[in-house]
C-alpha cells in the first residue's frame, strides 16, 4: 500500500500543505484531497490533529465512527419534503423587446410596462409547510424523502477539519458512507461547508487490531500517512507539556521501552500518576504498583532500576540554564556525565537534549537576557559536552526560536563552533 512514514512534527507540515493545496483546488472548482493517518493505538493520532486545528485556527469536529451505532448520526436524518409554489409577478425582461423596426417602438414601450405571472417553486420540509401555507404558498401535490444535515455540521461556517476517528474499525455501512463523503464532500442532500478538510485516522491492518480491510479502490480516494513514534519529537512535546523532568530523562535513556502495548499514551498516564511524588526513592513500592497497572512489569522494573541508580537525581535543564553559579553548573554536569572510562554518553546526550528543548520552551515565555545567553555559549563551546552534542544544542535552539536566540547565534564562539 502506498504510504509515507512521518513523525508528528512532519505530519503537521504535511497536513498544513494539503489544507493549503485543497483551498487552491476548491478555488479552481476541483475536489479537495482527504488524508488518512495510520498509527498504533496511543501514538497520538487524534491529539496531534486536534492540536493542528487549534494551531492553524480551524474549527474542529471529531466523530468516533467505531462508537456510532445509528447511520443518521453521520449522514443526517430523513425528512419528508413537499413541493410548494407561489405566483410572482415579474416585469418583462428587456430580451423580450423587439428593436427590429420603428413600427415596433410603440408595442415595445407597452411591453415594458407589463408584467408576467410566473410560478416560483421550492421543496419545503414537512415541519415548515403550515408556515408556508399561511404566507400564500400552494402545494403541487408532489413530495419526496430527503436528509437534513447532521447536528454536528449544520451550523458550521467555512474553515475546519472533520476528523473521522478509527474509521476502519467502524461498521461497514459507515465505511461506505465515508467513501462518498471523502470523494465528493457531499452525502445525499447535504454538503460540507467550504474550506473543510477530511482527515481519517486508522489502526494498522496487520492482524493486531480488529479492523475492516479497505479495498484498493477505496485507498485511491485519499493520501495515507503512517505515523511513527519519534523519541526526540516526544521529548520536545513532553518539555512543553510539563511532564515530570525525571520521567523525561528516563524515557530518553530507555526509548526502546516504547512498544505497541506500552505506547506513548499509557506512558504519559504512568508519568502523570507519579508526578506528585516528591522523592521517588521513598515510594518505590507505590511506583511499582502504579507501573504494573499502567505500563507493565518490564517498564516498571526498569523505572525502579533507574531510581535505584539515582538517575532520577540528574540535574534539571532549568538548573543548568538559570543557576547563578557557573562553577556549580560545571560541577553537577561533570558529576552526572563522568570522564574518561566513567563517561556516560547516554546521560550526556539526554542532558543535552533536555537543555536544548527546555531553552526553546523557556524562550517562549521569558526574555533571553545576557546571563542566559552567556550560559548557553559556555555550555556549547567549552568541554562540558562533546562537539556533536554542542552542535545539537545550537541547532535545536536556533530552529526552535530563531528570533529570541539571534544574539547568541551571532557570538563569535558559536560561529566558530558551528563551522568546525
Q: What is the mean pLDDT of the chain?
A: 87
What is the CB neighbour count within 10 angstroms for residue 399?
11
Do 261 and 343 lie in one domain? The reply is yes
Of the listed ranges 188-197, 284-293, 307-316, 352-361, the least confidently predicted one is 188-197
Residues 194 and 317 in one domain: no
Instruction: Give me the domain span that covers residue 155.
Output: 4-74+150-227
Same domain for 368 and 221?
no
Confidence of residue 346 (pLDDT cuts 50, 70, 90): very high
Q: What is the pLDDT of residues 281-294, one digit of tens each?
A: 999 999 999 999 99
The pLDDT of residue 375: 92
The answer to whether 174 and 74 are in contact (CB under 8 A) is: yes
Cβ–Cβ under 8 Å, residues 65 and 170: yes
Q: With beta carbons less than 8 A apart as the criterion, state whether 201 and 207 touch.
A: no
pLDDT tens profile 34-43: 999 999 988 9
Name the pairing type of β-strands 160-165 and 138-147.
Answer: unpaired
Q: Are 180 and 158 in a shared domain?
A: yes
Least reliable range by pLDDT among 33-37, 102-106, 251-255:
102-106
**CA quadruple 342, 343, 346, 352: dihedral positive or negative?**
positive
Domain identity same for 261 and 176: no
What is the count of structural domains for the chain?
3
Tell me how far CA of residue 319 lies from CA of 131, 214, 262, 334, 378, in angstroms: 72, 52, 31, 14, 14
Q: Are residues 154 and 268 in the same domain?
A: no
Q: Please give the average per-residue pLDDT across 101-130, as a whole number.
A: 69
309: exposed, middle or buried (C-beta count within 10 Å: 0-12, 13-18, 19+)?
A: exposed
Domain identity same for 258 and 395:
yes
Segment (H or E) for 191: strand 190-191
CATH code, domain with 156: 3.40.50.300
Domain identity same for 243 and 339: yes
Picking from 212, 227, 242, the residue at the C-terminal end of a domain is 227
274 and 221 both lie in a single domain:
no
Amino acid at each position: 500500500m502506498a504510504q509515507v512514514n512521518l513523525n508528528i512534527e512532519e505530519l503537521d507540515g504535511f497536513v498544513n500543505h494539503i489544507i493549503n493545496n485543497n483551498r487552491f483546488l476548491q478555488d479552481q472548482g476541483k475536489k479537495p484531497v482527504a488524508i488518512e493517518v495510520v498509527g498504533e493505538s496511543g501514538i497520538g493520532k487524534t491529539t496531534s490533529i486536534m492540536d493542528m486545528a487549534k494551531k492553524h485556527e480551524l474549527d474542529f469536529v471529531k466523530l468516533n465512527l467505531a462508537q456510532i451505532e445509528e447511520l443518521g448520526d453521520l449522514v443526517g436524518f430523513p425528512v419528508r419534503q413537499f413541493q410548494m409554489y407561489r405566483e410572482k409577478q415579474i416585469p418583462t425582461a428587456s430580451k423580450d423587446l423587439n428593436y427590429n423596426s420603428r413600427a415596433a417602438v410603440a408595442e415595445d414601450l407597452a411591453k415594458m410596462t407589463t408584467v408576467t405571472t410566473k410560478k416560483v417553486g421550492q421543496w419545503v420540509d414537512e415541519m415548515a409547510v403550515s408556515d408556508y401555507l399561511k404566507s400564500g404558498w400552494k402545494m403541487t401535490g408532489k413530495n419526496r424523502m430527503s436528509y437534513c444535515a447532521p447536528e454536528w455540521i449544520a451550523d458550521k461556517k467555512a474553515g475546519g477539519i472533520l476528523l473521522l476517528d478509527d474509521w476502519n474499525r467502524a461498521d461497514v455501512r459507515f465505511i461506505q458512507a465515508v467513501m462518498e463523503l471523502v470523494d465528493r464532500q457531499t452525502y445525499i442532500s447535504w454538503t460540507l461547508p467550504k474550506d473543510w478538510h477530511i482527515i481519517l485516522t486508522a489502526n494498522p491492518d496487520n492482524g493486531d487490531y480488529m479492523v475492516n480491510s479497505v479495498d484498493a479502490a477505496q485507498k485511491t480516494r485519499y493520501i495515507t500517512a503512517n505515523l511513527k513514534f519519534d523519541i526526540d519529537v516526544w521529548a520536545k512535546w513532553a518539555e512543553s507539556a510539563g511532564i515530570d523532568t525525571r520521567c523525561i530523562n528516563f524515557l530518553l535513556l530507555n526509548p526502546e521501552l516504547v512498544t505497541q502495548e506500552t505506547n506513548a499514551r499509557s506512558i504519559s498516564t504512568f508519568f502523570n500518576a507519579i508526578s506528585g511524588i516528591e522523592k521517588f526513592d521513598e515510594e518505590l513500592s507505590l511506583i511499582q504498583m502504579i507501573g504494573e497497572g499502567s505500563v507493565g512489569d518490564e517498564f516498571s522494573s526498569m523505572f525502579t532500576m533507574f531510581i535505584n541508580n539515582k538517575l532520577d537525581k540528574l540535574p534539571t535543564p532549568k538548573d543548568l540554564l538559570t543557576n547563578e553559579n557557573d562553577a556549580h553548573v560545571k560541577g553537577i554536569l561533570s558529576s552526572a556525565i563522568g570522564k574518561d572510562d566513567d563517561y556516560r554518553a547516554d546521560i550526556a546526550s539526554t542532558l543535552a537534549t533536555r537543555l536544548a528543548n527546555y531553552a526553546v520552551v523557556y524562550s517562549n515565555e521569558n526574555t533571553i537576557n545576557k546571563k542566559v545567553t552567556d550560559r548557553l555559549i559556555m555550555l556549547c563551546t567549552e568541554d562540558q559536552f562533546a562537539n556533536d552534542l554542542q552542535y545539537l544544542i545550537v541547532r535545536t535552539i536556533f530552529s526552535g526560536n530563531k528570533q529570541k536566540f539571534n544574539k547568541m547565534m551571532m557570538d563569535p564562539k558559536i560561529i566558530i563552533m558551528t563551522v568546525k
